[in-house]
Every structure is written in C-alpha cells, then in structure tokens.
Amino acid sequence: MPKFTGINDQSSSVSEYVNPGFINALDYGVVADGTTSVTSAIQAIVTSNRTIFFPRGTYLFTSEVVINSVSDLRLLGEAGTTFLYAGNPAVYNPYSLISVKGTIQNLKVESIRFEVNAIDSTELPTGLLNFDSHAGGLTLNRLTVKDCEFSALNTNVNAISILLVPASSVTDFRFLENRINGIGRMGIEFVNHNNDSIVRYSNIRVENNDIADTGRALTWGCGLSFSGPGQDIIVTCNHFKDLNRDHAVELVHTTNCIVSNNVMNGLGKPFNGIASGYPTGGQVTNLVVSGNVMNIKERSSTVPAHGFSLGYAKDVIIVGNQIKTGGYSELIGCIGTRLSQNIIESKDHFGLWLRSGTTKTRSRFNTISNQDSALNYGTIMCQNLGTTDNKFQDTVYSSDGNNLFTEYDNASGNSFVID
C-alpha cells in the first residue's frame, strides 16, 4: 500500500507517482472534511489518462460519481482515506459511491475505504462500487481493485455489483488484498441472467482478501457469487469468516473455475463453504476445489451447514481439502466428480451425501467420517433413482451411525470398499 504522509505534507512522499496525469484531488475543490459534499468536484476530474490521489480524510458523497467511457484511470488513496455515502436512497442506484458504465479500459481503485452508515433493509442489488450495464451499457477490460475496505453494516447492498445485460462484458477483473467486513448483502456479485449461454464475464481473479460478516441486512449473503455464464475464474488464498447466511463461494453456469487454498471459518455464524448450480440455472463444468480449509458449525438441526454443496456440476475435481462441518457435504445431480486426499468430517449428519442422479463419482484416498451422530446417519448416503455408478475405495471411514454406506430411495449400482 502507498505510504503517504497525509494532507499537509505531500511534497516528498508522492514522487514515485508523479507523472503528467497525476493530480491531488484537494487541488481541485475536493474537501476531505466529512461534511462537505464532494460528488460534483470529483465528477469534474474523473477523466482518462489520470491518477487521482485522495489524501487521508473523509470524503462525503451525496450521490454517486459516474465513471463513463474512460481509459487508464486510477483512483488512489492511502491509509485513512474514506469515501462515505450520505445521499438519497430514492435515487437510481441508492448507496453507490462509484458507478461505472460505457467502455472502460484499465481502471484501478486502490487504498480507499468505502462506507455506508444508512439503515435500510430494502432489497437493493447494487454495490458501493457499482458496474451497471442497464444504464448506457458496459464494456470493461482490465479492472483492479486493491487494498480497499468495504462496509455497509445495516444497508442491504453489495460491496461490488456487476450486472450484465446482453450487450455488455467484463474481462480481466482483479480483486486483490481487500477487506470486506460488515455488508448487508453480498461481497461481490456477478449477475449474467439473460436467458442464454453467452459468457459475459471472464478472466476473474479474487486473491488474498478478507471477507467477513456479509448478509447482515436481509436474505442474500454470499461472500462471492458468480451467477450466469462466466468462465476462467480463480478464487484463491482468501479468508472467509462468520458470514451470516448462504455461501462463501457460489457458482452458477460457470466453466473453468478454481477455488483453492481458501480458509472458511464459521464458528459463530454458520454458512456453506462452496455451492454450485441448480437445475434451471445452467450446469457448472470444469471446477477444481483444492487445498481449502473449512471449519463451519451447524446452522440448526433442520438447516445443516455444508462444506461443499455442488449441484448439477460436471467434471469436478475435489482434492486435498480439510472439511469439518456441523452438517455434511453433498453432490446433487453431478456427473464425473473426482475426490482424492480429502478429510471430510461431519457432526450429526452424513459425511457425504450423493443424490438426485449423481453418477460416475470416483473417490480414492479420502478420510470421511461422521462423528457424534445423534441422528444415526451413515458416513456415505446414496439416494434417489439415477444415483448410480459411484465408486469409493482406498478410503478411511468412521461412523457413529448405523451404517458406513447406505443406498436409499431407488439408488443402486454404487460400490463401497472398506479398507
């Protein structure tokens, strides 16, 4: 993160950033006192080929600043730089501080805290950083959000929203070393719901972020949601903690995705680790889930917490994960899943549940257990007609239930070898 000395002394500390396009926002009528609206002054200086430096202080937004069809724009803060929203919730994008549209090439947002203090439980699928193609379209190539913070404790908004209509696209998105802590809705939400199979977001990397306490205000609370056709997504080395509901990572109709080396802790506020798909949402294909550590408590006896809940996915590799949940992990209508070298431990439920036509699963060298099972579930349950040709071998099992392996409700043709 840049190490500046503050508002009063910039002369020596910003030399590495000085270039013909570098400006200090305070030299252009922007006031960082937390009481004077900065919306108009910032709007006037947001242009192409420019780095705008915002020294530490609180910048009060009374409406959104719109970034429209620019290239090579960098919004740069430092420790103590806060963008605070205090605007009118009746406007088009309530609680958005920055809204992006048009044709965008190489946009960077760094070292800024985005904050909303309003109390509003209305369903508002907008974001503090908002990429909304409904108003003027959006073609975005190369976006980097780095070392930023996002907070909206009591407002039902996302930290970042990317809403894509048919004539829109986002490529090369980087979300690096950020902190999301206390958001009414989701951390990041990609939405490509256009009743077709056209990929409108691709080459996405979410790495080394802390994501905590999402889903505070209403019903949706994923840490990360990728919904609708998208491809080439990497989610790695993030820490998810105490999300209030839903999933750390949600994938719907995506392909070529890697979810690796993340830590997911839910010791106080249980949630699901990794979830994918539903029958009408489009199949998830070519997903790798590897090296993740999940320690997530039970939601309740009727709503269990899942390590992974993968639905209608094809060609999934699940390898080298450590999964400890109050509930279970499950495959729903999945085809061709490979599980290897995982430790899957459940409390009070199945260790692993295969159902609704899951087939061609191959499981080797795993440790699967359900400990302290008051409900007497087995370690592995295969259920429903069409759940067949799933094979488990070279695996260590343990169960406090009646059976290690159960076929139920017309499931058949599955094999289970006890070592």
Q: Which residue has the higher pLDDT, 299 or 122?
A: 122
Q: What is the pLDDT of residue 377?
A: 64
DSSP 8-state symbol, 145:
E
**Backbone φ, ψ for residue 191 (5° rounding):** -125, 115
DSSP string, 387-401: -B--EEES-EEEESS
Place of tokens 């809705």: 185
Span 269-278, pLDDT tens digits: 668 899 997 6
Instruction: Give the chain's length.
Output: 419
The first and second tokens of residue 48, run together, are: 């192409």
**What is the pTM (predicted TM-score) of this model?**
0.92
Which amino acid does the sequence have at 348? D
Domains of the chain: 15-416 (2.160.20.10)
Q: What is the pLDDT of residue 13?
A: 40
CA distance 341 to 204: 27
Which amino acid does the sequence have at 339? L
The first and second tokens of residue 208, run together, are: 């080394």
Strands 396-399 and 367-371: parallel
Integer angstrom CA distances of residue 246 from 182, 303, 329? 15, 11, 14
CA distance 110 to 240: 21
By the 8 A CB rule, do 240 and 263 touch? yes
Q: Which residue has the higher pLDDT, 113 or 134?
A: 113
- Per-residue pLDDT band for 32 (boundaries 50, 70, 90) equals very high
- Per-residue pLDDT band for 11 (boundaries 50, 70, 90) equals very low
Q: What is the pLDDT of residue 373?
A: 55
Span 73-129, pLDDT tens digits: 999 999 999 999 986 666 656 789 999 999 999 999 999 999 998 877 676 668 999
**Backbone φ, ψ for residue 105 (5° rounding):** -130, 115
Task: Kindly tell me the burial class for residue 377, based on how many C-beta atoms sit within 10 Å of its own C-beta (0-12, 13-18, 19 or more).
Answer: buried
- Does residue 4 carry a pLDDT above 60? no
The first and second tokens of residue 245, run together, are: 């509901």
Helices vs strands, H then E, count in the chain: 1, 39
Q: Which of 56-70, 323-337, 391-405 has the lowest mean pLDDT?
A: 391-405
Average pLDDT, the chain: 87
